């Protein structure tokens, strides 16, 4: 709570349960229920909860009842069900989807149904005929970094937001498109591409300011997770709750990114080409080698990672109090990570979140402005 100002809503989730698109949809579903006007009966949610309590082994049937319901009502039975969630037959995703109901009963107010569909929790829609899950589990068990808790964030690190106006982004796009590099056929040049390229170069320059100059042939990589729901022959529902991701891993040598005047252009071309490849070869090409490929990239040199996406439209998450004043993603603790979201106040603008040491802010700002002025 912030006196005379507002409050901050913090959300934590485990990627084992769901990806960013799933959590974003869940938050919008929750908030849309919260802001609904009073007056409509919500009996079907209570009925569905009672059904699940009577037949606990049929979790998907109960979820289907909820999904088909359009006459939600106050739901004490549902909250009671949540409170006895130790029942091992009740899936965690189903409980997460239902937890939105707590706000209804906490205020003892009936609310109308959400305009959004309930999160789709059934995993049956995705078939693992090749045993990929077993391969992933085996690969993850061999990675030492996954064997314990993450390290603490240094006390002097601060989270800052860089507001990239639409005019700046258009300037970057023009810079890339005006170079010979971009004249190859079908290179994907978008606001996302050029912003990621810009940040890749900037964060690598900051990395060298902090850790020292690397050899020219050291391998750099850029990593971004990519939603797969619309990349299968049989489309996955947009409201699917779980992980449905592939990735793009873009390689480059230090000399290609940091030497000369065209590092951002090179980076944009490389990222755009990888996006095109993903569209052409399919989302699951080489899936059995994903984890070894990613871990090997981290061993070769620095990897810049982007989190979140402007497509999530986080500022449309409205409890009924209006859109949020500010969105921050706080888990980007590494100096080679950044978050990307749409601008709150300008169509076509972007907010870039990074965490840097307090004494490194001026260094990064200087790098940022220097690179921007090159275009």
Q: What percent of the chain has pLDDT over 90?
A: 42
Please name each of the domains of the chain with its CATH number.
20-123 (no CATH), 153-374 (3.30.559.10)
CA distance 194 to 171: 10
Q: How confident is the model at residue 124 (pLDDT cuts 50, 70, 90)?
A: confident
Q: Please list the residues that pair with 72 across neighbouring strands.
A: 43
CA distance 321 to 326: 13
- Could you read off the pLDDT of 146-158 as tens digits, one per residue? 555 566 767 888 9
**Has residue 190 got a pLDDT over 90?**
yes
pTM of the model: 0.78
**pLDDT value at position 38?**
46
- Could you read off the pLDDT of 246-280 as tens digits, one per residue? 999 999 999 999 987 789 999 999 999 999 888 88
Q: Which of 264, 258, 271, 277 lies closest to 178, judged by CA?
A: 264
Q: How confident is the model at residue 180 (pLDDT cuts 50, 70, 90)?
A: low
Higher pLDDT among residues 177 and 62, named by residue: 177
Buried b (16+ CB within 10 A) or exposed e, 49-62: bebbbeeeeebeeb
Kindly state the average pLDDT of the residues 69-95. 40
Q: Are 207 and 194 in contact (CB under 8 A)?
A: no
CA 90 vs. chain centroid, Å, equals 26
Q: Please list the residues that pair with 253 across neighbouring strands.
A: 219
E strand spans, 29-176: 157-164
Q: How confident is the model at residue 234 (pLDDT cuts 50, 70, 90)?
A: confident
Full strand arrangement of the beta sheet holding 303-307: 157-164, 350-357, 337-342, 303-307, 219-227, 245-253
């Amino acid at each position: 709570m912030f006196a005379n100002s507002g409050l901050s809503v913090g959300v934590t989730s485990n990627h084992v349960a769901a990806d960013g698109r799933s959590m974003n949809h869940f938050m919008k579903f929750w908030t849309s229920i919260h802001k609904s006007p009073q007056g409509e009966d919500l009996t079907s949610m209570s009925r569905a909860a009672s059904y699940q309590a009577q037949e606990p082994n049929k979790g998907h049937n109960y979820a289907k009842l909820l999904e088909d319901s359009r006459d939600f009502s106050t739901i004490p039975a549902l909250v009671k069900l949540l409170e006895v969630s130790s029942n091992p037959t009740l899936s965690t995703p189903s409980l997460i989807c239902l937890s939105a109901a707590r706000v209804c009963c906490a205020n003892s107010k009936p609310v109308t149904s959400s305009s959004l569909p309930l999160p789709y929790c059934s995993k049956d829609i995705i078939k693992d005929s090749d045993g990929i899950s077993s391969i992933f589990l085996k690969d993850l068990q061999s990675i030492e970094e996954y064997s314990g808790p993450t390290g603490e964030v240094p006390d002097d690190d601060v989270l800052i937001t860089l507001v990239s106006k639409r005019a700046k982004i258009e300037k970057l796009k023009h810079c890339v498109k005006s170079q010979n590099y971009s004249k190859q056929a079908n290179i994907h040049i978008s606001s996302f591409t050029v912003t990621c390229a810009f940040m890749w170069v900037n964060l690598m320059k900051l990395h060298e300011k902090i850790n020292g100059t690397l050899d020219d042939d050291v391998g750099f990589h850029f990593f971004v997770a990519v939603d797969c729901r619309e990349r299968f022959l049989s489309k996955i529902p947009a409201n699917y709750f779980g992980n449905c991701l592939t990735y793009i891993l873009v390689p480059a040598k230090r000399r290609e990114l940091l030497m000369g005047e065209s590092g951002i252009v090179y980076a944009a071309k490389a990222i755009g080409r990888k996006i095109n490849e993903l569209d052409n070869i399919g989302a699951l090409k080489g899936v059995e080698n994903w984890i070894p490929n990613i871990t090997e990239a981290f061993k070769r040199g620095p990897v810049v990672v982007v989190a979140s996406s402007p497509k999530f439209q986080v500022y449309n998450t409205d409890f009924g109090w209006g859109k949020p004043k500010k969105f921050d993603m706080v888990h980007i603790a590494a100096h080679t990570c950044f978050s990307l979201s749409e601008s709150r106040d300008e169509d076509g603008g972007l907010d870039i979140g990074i965490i840097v040491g307090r004494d490194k802010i001026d260094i990064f700002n200087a790098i940022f402005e220097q690179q921007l002025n090159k275009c």
